[in-house]
Amino acid sequence: MSLQPGLYRHYKGPEYRVLGVARHSETEEDVVVYQALYGEYGLWVRPLEMFQGEVELDGKRVPRFAFIEGEPSVLRRP
């Protein structure tokens, strides 16, 4: 699985910048590395499958994280 780096909005409202997908050293599970764009701008990791999953909100299934926009090309790896 892959995930486009860029800005995402969590279903609860805050925005995050996805830095990339990494592999867990013990389980080899793909995890998303992302940064909060509020508060202390902390770094987080979450299993890719969970990041791309859906949650229930007001009786509807919605994406846990919704893609907003990609990173400018100058910030992407060639």
Domain that holds residue 37: 6-56
Number of domains in the chain: 1
Q: Is 32 exposed, middle or buried (0-12, 13-18, 19+ CB in 10 A)?
A: buried
Tell me the per-residue pLDDT of 37-62, one tens digit each, with 9 for 90 and over.
999 999 999 999 999 999 999 999 99
pLDDT score at 71: 72
* This prediction's pTM: 0.84
Q: How many CB atoms lie within 10 A of CB 8?
A: 23
DSSP string of 24-73, one letter each residue: -TTT--EEEEEEESSTT--EEEEEHHHHT-EEEETTEEEESEEEEEEPPG
The CATH number linked to 47 is 2.30.30.320
- Let me know if residue 71 belongs to a domain: no
